[in-house]
Structure 1
Amino acid sequence: MIEPLETPLEPQSELRDLLEAAPDAMVVVNDAGTIVLTNSQAELLFQYQPGELEGQQIEVLVPERHRHRHDGHRHGYGRNPRTRRMGSGLELHGRRSDGSEFPVEISLSPIETERGALVCSAIRDISDRKLVEDELRGLREAAEADRARLAEAQRLAHVGSFEINLVTGERWWSDEYWRLLGLDKTLGPSRELLLSTIHPDDLAETQAIWQRVDGGESVDGVTFRIVRPTGEVRWTRSRMRVETDDHGTPVKIVGTTMDVTTLHHAMARQREAEINFSLSFEHSHVGLAMADLEGRLTRINSAVCSILARSESEILGKRMLDFVSPGERGDEDLMARLIGNHGRYRTCSATTERALVTPNGDVVWAQETISLVRNEQGDPSHFFLQLQDVSDRKQAEDALIHQATHDPLTGLGNRAFLSEKIDQVLAHRAADRVSVLFVDVNKFKVINDARGHAAGDALLVQIADRLRSAVRPTDTLARFGGDEFVIVCEDITPENAERLAGRIVDATRAPFDLEGQQVYVTLSVGVVMAEAGDDAETLLRKSDVAMYQAKERDRTHVAVFDHQMQALASSRLETESQLGGALERDELRLVYQPIVDVHTERTIGFEALVRWQHPSRGLLAPAEFMSIAEETGMILAIGEWVLREALMQLQLWRMDVPGARDLFVAVNLSARQVQDPEFPAAVARTLAQTRAEPAALHLELTESMVMSRSDVAVQNVTALRELGVRVSLDDFGTGYSSLSYLHQIPAHTVKIDRSFVAAIGEDNASATSIIGAIVGLGRALELDVVGEGVETPQQVEELRRLGVRYAQGYLWSPPIAPAAAQEWIREKAVRDSPSA
């Protein structure tokens, strides 16, 4: 490090003492912009080691680009002392040793020496003040946009604002400003009216401040009292900013005034408390002590005796390390490092926490602050110690750490705890001996919605207990979130990991008791064995992928991760991301399958089916993207598009194609649409927009859609029927609740599932019986019956015999494009005409 000055300052030691006594960061710079002297506050503020700044250019602390951007000058750091700008309140940006920047306020003062002029800079971190200024600036800008909203905000914050147009003389006070002063708005704002409210003891100072503002100076943080007409005295704090035009001429004064009465009284009480604290310092719980350079205690107060539970004679002459717990020796070289610090400061300090042992063996956690005191010559003289009992805080920290890393419902570790645990295990175990099991409760949302969140929480607690009993003592069980749990296994083989997954699934086969009622749930478990290079995030992602594969399995509910699963998951994610823009890119298409009268072969309508014309994968069937749309919620927008597109196409056919006047169109609904309370209104709007007859629209839903939230679904179906829309139950006969729910659902049509129709050609007597039963049920409830998936003449003949009147399937036509469907209609119309 270079010498800061060629010759000492006069006297340099006194200047250094003055800098150290200053509360702000102090930096002394010579004409060349070189830092020649700093205090410890500056090094603490800018995060430099003692002495490290001396000899460096001022640009390391105050970057030149910020000084130029501020007003085009170097703010006092130039080479010519006659042109240097001195003063206070210069707001720039400081830069710490790590490169981070923060706002500072700099006051510059000249120092004359025998060797030339220096500049002394007092630097203060104004980050907090800037945040407050930015917030108030935001409030003012919001006020210009919406006065009413600002008035409410000001009322809530007890902040009033005012403006003075210096060109026109016009004045404006906000509603809250009037309320704060306790004045009637009809009086009209004026300087005289404001000054009439100022407390007599503050009037002269306030008038002087207004003179400064009138002179073009902005004023920040002025506190004064006002006296309301009722005699009530309130403390206020004002800020006033002078705005200028392009020529620098003041044109407007804007300001804010806040009622700080409560804050003032609080600060007054705080000052009183500080005085009382100072008077009772000797009796404080904070221990104070002095020690020689070897660390031996030479003087203590009663608080030190209380903390150590020893008498003064038992403590004096010993070191603090003599009372530290053997297992918590802490930083034994702290004092030596302070002495070895060759910085040229009178004091330097360090803080540590130690576990101290009392004579009866109790452990007391104490925060120890050690300050090295130097003599007039700058040599180490002695140590000053502050000792504070922080045992309660340590206990609270331990409790907070436990809360931050554990689930309050089950007491299990949470996601943060889990990630740290996996990384720890991977760091100390061979990767191929570590396994992660991702556990999900199947259909938990159904139970939660049906029984309520309290019952859902109770179920999760019981599941957690069963999982605890199923895992090994060395395994770590955590709640990942919601209805998901994760198990981390150490020293386990792939076979044993899979066996553990099976035990976990078996653990929930017995029913759970929820308020006296038995509930059955199943689990899906994804298993992954760690590989070299895996981390916590990777293992959790892989096990999650395996868990979703397990959900698709009907029996085992366990899946072991392989990389093909990852590829499928990636493909699914890609499909999901691309599906979001399919509507905007006009990639969705509708195809139409005819529905015919099996006795006359006459076409009575079409079922509209959606396809995705993918730009690279070609035409995709619904199975490749509709489940993703359902899970992500995109199904609502897609469903609305399908409904509108199908009705518009039907209207075109009805107007332009002979024989299409009485056709209807059937549209499949999703579970989200059926359960959306706003869906009937959306259907009504679409009917109005397309001018379609409600009876020409058949909406198809499955019984499972109704069962999941039967109350909302039944209400929606009833509302749709009241609109005149016809409702069809699709895939009828495949659910266990068909008969029990059919009389509750106001449907017009049931569609026999294609699996029963397909079984007709296999001489399946039970399928024929089921179809006959459905037809009989339809007649009893006055419902139309439609057979799906008809592919052979034998099937259609049997449907006729059983009394099924309508059907659809590849026997007549696959789903076809709108143009082909239009030709279909034309051909059928010609074929069925009397002249044909």
Structure 2
Amino acid sequence: MAPSWSVWLLPGLAVLAVAAVGLMVAFTRRLSSIDRHGWRLLSAAPLLAVLPSTRPLSAVVLVASVSMIGFMVMPRRRRLRGVLDVALVASCVVFSLWPLVGPRVAGEIQAGGVWERFTAVLALLAVSASAVVVANQTTALRRGLAVQLVGVAGISVVLVNRLPAVANAVAVVSGAAAILLAGHIVARVEQDGRLVDVRRRPASMLVSGVAIALAVAAGGRSLIGGDYLEPFIGVTGIAVVLLVLGRQLVTIVESAWTARDLEDEIAARTAELQTSEVRFRSLVQTSSDVVTILDEEGVVLFLTPSVERVFGYRPSDCEGRSLWGMLHPDDVPLARKMLAEAVAHPDECLTVEWRLSHQGGGWSHCESTVRSLLHEPSVCGIVLNTRDVTERKGLEEQLIREALHDSLTGLANRGLLRDRANRALDRRERMGHQIAVLLIDLDDFKAINDGLGHAAGDEALGIVARRLLGCVEPGDTVARLGGDEFAILLEAIEPGHPAVVAEKIQEMLRLPMFVLGHEVFTPASVGVATTSHSKTADELLENADMAMYLAKGRGKGQVAMFVPEMHVELRNRLTVVTELRHAVARQEFSLRFQPLVDLKTRRLMGVEALLRWRHPRRGLLTPDAFIALAETSGIIVPLGRWIMAEAMRELAQWHAAHPRPDRALSITINLSARQFLDPGLLGDVAAALENTGVAPGSVVLELTETMLMHDIEETIDTLRALKRLGVRLALDDFGTGYSSLSYLRRFPIDILKIDRSFVTSLTTEEGPDVVRSILNLADTFKLTTVAEGIENSSQLAMLRALGCTYGQGYLFAKPLRSTQVEQLLADEMRRHERAASPALATADDHVSSV
């Protein structure tokens, strides 16, 4: 009768068997197809053993599944060894256990219970062998767990069928597991996937001997006991010995394979190391970097061969030398500091730029990375990785220079000027000296660009830059701000020094310059500002610009010193410019006429048209109050066109009302520099002549010396074009500007006007000689002379004595209105009819009231 606890054991074991099957299916879902099928066959074997009709099939399935799993989990090269291991272990188990269970099994074969015990033993044998095989695979821990569960399930099936055999089954399981594990250790020992020589494992050799001793003891027992060896035992013993010998042969072969693999791997790694060494040597020899190893004192211990290509030295020339002797003296303190810091912080890689001497002479700019490897036994030094960056440094300096200098003239640009001005202001706060900025703007430089082209303009700017550099001290800064505008920064100046420099600049720029075969002049307007009224660099530049603008407004070639009142003057000028634009449209301008007389007869020969502005608030203004602003603002061009047309219209009316039988009255019209350079000048003159119908010979266009000196060739072309229209040309203020005999000969001039300053100087000792020289020069070139500014009879007498032909001034009349000129002409006609006194005698009283 079965014990009471068996009632609860049977259902529990059945549930455990089913759970094992379910877990096996879950564990094997992600395995490959062969592994999955093998494990599922293994899990199905215990279930087949439940039915009496399928129990023999369960044994076959167990053997097949274990073989499949064991074969697949073994490495390809070691599958033969695994088969031998399993066979050896199985033979040892059977050989060792057969004397204990053989007789009972043989006695019970006929009793019908052999299949239960055999199935239990076979299941335990298969499960234990599989567990050992799988447990050796580090990636198959789940499989090992599944095998144990299947083993438990198989035992459960056996117990269900034959409860009385529990004690025997447990004994069989214990013996089988111990022998299986011992045999596996003997057969194959692995550590991290590599075969381990069993000769180096004494414990493994001992276990191997124990396994063989068990087989010999079992056979010896039969011999000592007087029993003949049963055939099964004999065959099994022979199989064990053969398997052990075969296994050893396999081990020897695998050891040979392993040795060959190790030799191949060593050879491959050696070749790889040689390749790496060759590659490293090539990189070191062909690299543009120089690797240097120094000791703590800065002595060179090692240099790569690239030092000869980069710096011209052989490595042997430098080894043993101090680095300090190869560095630029100014860089030695920095180098000492960097090496000390590298030693103090061995984990950091520092970067430094310094200059190293070159074998060919001079210094090379270098960039080095510094790292201390004094703690590395293979190096024991401070490692420098150095490259020559001289070319890069030069490019950087070039880029900086281009960023801070004018590309055309090489002078400083606005940014560098402002930077130096700020630094000068900082020094001024410490030292207390004054600073000045001079702003220079070339007058009518546009004429050179327009007349000769931009290439000529660029060359002229280069000449101006060199002349400006010659006007300053080495510590001063000359800059080009753009276009035709320059600036000069004067540091540590004495009172009055800026004015001296400005005058020197004017003198240098008054000199002619030759540009592309043309002789040109570039006078300039100069504005000066000092730190007396400026606190920052921007204020200096702004104030100098304001002074320059006001200087230009006063006329060409002027110098203006900034004073705070200029802000008011500038606002006033801006207001005047706006009012000038409106005045042209509102016709607020009118003409006055300065009589020109024959000095011998005092007869009226012509008039000079003078502009007046009837300002709505300020009254009648002379050109001194606005003409410079009209010139700089460009208003002078349309205004000059109106003057020309109006003057010729008045002349036409006088000619019609008071014709002269001998010589028609002439009119002189002043041309401004801006108007003379205007491309539409010839068209304006031609249109005025055509519209009024006056004889071109009665029109005199008056020009100044300064406006003719920009581009001599272009000026001559323009003058000749005007002459082709039939008008006459007068040169005003002769002797005060740049004229020379060569210009006077080449210019198609008709009239030479003697400046009022020479007329005033007639009372001095040298005055008459100067005027006489001018008159002789005019006579040589067959020019008519006109003296300006005659104010008293003594001047008139001296001019008559010197031979001057014509003159004008307050002695004869102040500027007259059109009606007053017409009255003079009418009086002259009546006197001529009466053959009376000189033409102006009657008009003197009338003129005096004007």
In the superposition, the TM-score normalised over structure 2's length comes to: 0.45
* Higher Rg of the two aligned structures: 2
In the superposition, the TM-score normalised over structure 1's length comes to: 0.45
Higher relative CO (CA 8 A, sep ≥ 6), structure 1 or 2? 2
Higher share in strand: 1
Higher share in helix: 2
